[in-house]
Amino acid sequence: MKNGDVPFYVEFKIGMVVMAPCETLAPDIAKRLAVDAVNHGDIALEHDGTIELKSLKQLASIDPAWTHDCLPWGGDDETTIGEILPEEA
């Protein structure tokens, strides 16, 4: 880990117009195209909140997709979230 860095959960809101055959498929199409749109600079990310993480339990209540074995973005690509955060705060 980088010296002094602590984990934060950061949310962004993305608004985009996509062409889709129906409303049901529109979110899946948008999800597939969002990375390209952001990287290309076509849409801006709107900051929607930041939370300093103190425990795995807190993270699980925010977004259960992030588990103890995930690697945080911007880390050393080796240290997992479970190695950084305690189970309980």
Rounded to the nearest 5°, which phi and psi values hold at 31?
A: -60, -40
pLDDT digits (tens, 9 = 90+) for 30-71: 999 988 888 888 787 888 899 999 998 998 898 888 888 999
| Mean model confidence pLDDT for the chain | 88
User: 71 and 82 in contact (C-beta within 8 Å)?
Assistant: no
For 1, counting Cβ atoms within 10 Å of its Cβ (0-12 exposed, 13-18 middle, 19+ buried), the class is: middle
Tell me if residue 13 falls in helix, strand or coil: strand
Structure tokens at 88: 């309980």
